[in-house]
Amino acid sequence: MEIEVLEGVFDANEIIAKENRSLLDGSGSFMVNLMASPGAGKTSVIMKTLEGVAGALNCAVIEGDIAGKVDSEKIAATGVPAIQINTGGSCHLEAKQVNRALNRLKLEGVDLVIVENVGNLVCPAEFKLGEDLKVMILSVAEGHDKPLKYPLMFSESDVLLVNKIDLIPHTDFEMETLEQTVLRMNPGVVIFKISCRTGEGVSDWTDWLKHRVKAGA
C-alpha cells in the first residue's frame, strides 16, 4: 500500500489546486490569478478587462480581500457574477478558498474566471490556485526597481501589466530599466503598458487575453 506524505502546506495546497484545474477543465473555463501590491489597480484592471472582453467572453470574478466587500459589490453592479472571499487576516489566497468559490459559481458557460488575489507582492506568488495564467500588475508609482526586491512574483508571472502609465511624467519611473530587469529574470513574460484611468493600452491587453482564452479553453 502506498502512503502519501504531505510535505506541509504547499503540497496540500497543490492537491486542491489540481482539483480546481479539473473543475475548470470540466466546464472549459480559463482562470486568471491576478496579483499586485495594494493600490496597484487590481479592481480597476478587472473592471476594464470585463468591459474589453464583453460580448466575446462570459466572465465571473472571485474577489480575495482580508476584509470588506467593496470590490465584489462594484463588480456585481456591472452584472458579472462575483464571489467575495474574506481571508480574515491571511495575506494570500489558497487553493481551498478558491475551490469553495468555484463550487458556488455556476461554471457551465463561463469562459473566463478572474481571481483577484490579496494585495501583496510576496506570498500570493507561492500558492498555486489551479490557474491558467498568472498576471501581475505593477503601478508606475511603485517604481521600476521592484523586480529586484520581489523577485519571485516577477519571475512567476506570465503577464506583467504596467499600470498608471499616465503618471510617468510626474515620477522618476524608467520603463526601459524595468523591462530589461524583468525580461532578464523572466524571458517569457508578456508585458503590457496600460492606464486604467485614460484607457491607454488596455485594448492591447484585452485583445491578447481574448485570443489566449479562446486558444486555451
Query: Of these, 164, 193, 210, 212, which contacts its own copies (CB under 8 A)?
Result: 164
91 touching its own copies, by CB under 8 A:
yes
Which residues, 18 to 77, sit near its own copies by CB under 8 A? Answer: 37-40, 65-68, 70
Would you say 120 or 206 has its CB closer to its own copies? 120
CB of 158 to its own copies, least distance (A): 20
Of 17, 121, 137, 194, the residue at the interface with its own copies (CB under 8 A) is: 121
Q: Which CB atom, from 49 or from 163, has the smaller least distance to its own copies?
A: 163
Region binding its own copies by CB under 8 A among candidate stretches 54-62, 77-85, 150-158, 183-191: 150-158
User: Segment contacting its own copies (CB under 8 A): 6-14, 109-117, 134-142, 202-210?
Assistant: 134-142
| Neighbour tally for 73: CB within 10 Å | 12
Q: In the complex, what is the shortest distance from the CB of residue 59 to its own copies, in angstroms, rounded to a whole number? A: 22
Q: Which residues fall within 8 angstroms of residue 67, CB to CB, at 6 or more apart?
A: 86, 88
Residues 6+ apart with CB under 8 A from 70: none
Closest Cα to residue 138, out of 92, 94, 173?
173
φ/ψ bin of 89: left (φ > 0), alpha (ψ from -120 to 50), beta (otherwise): left
When asked if residue 151 is in the footprint of its own copies (CB under 8 A), the reply is yes
119 binds its own copies (CB under 8 A): yes
Least separation in angstroms between residue 172's CB and its own copies is 8
Other CB atoms within a 10 A radius of the CB of residue 3 amount to 4
**Which residues are at the interface with its own copies (CB under 8 A)?**
37-40, 65-68, 70, 89, 91, 118-123, 126, 139-143, 145-146, 148-152, 164, 166-167, 170-172, 197
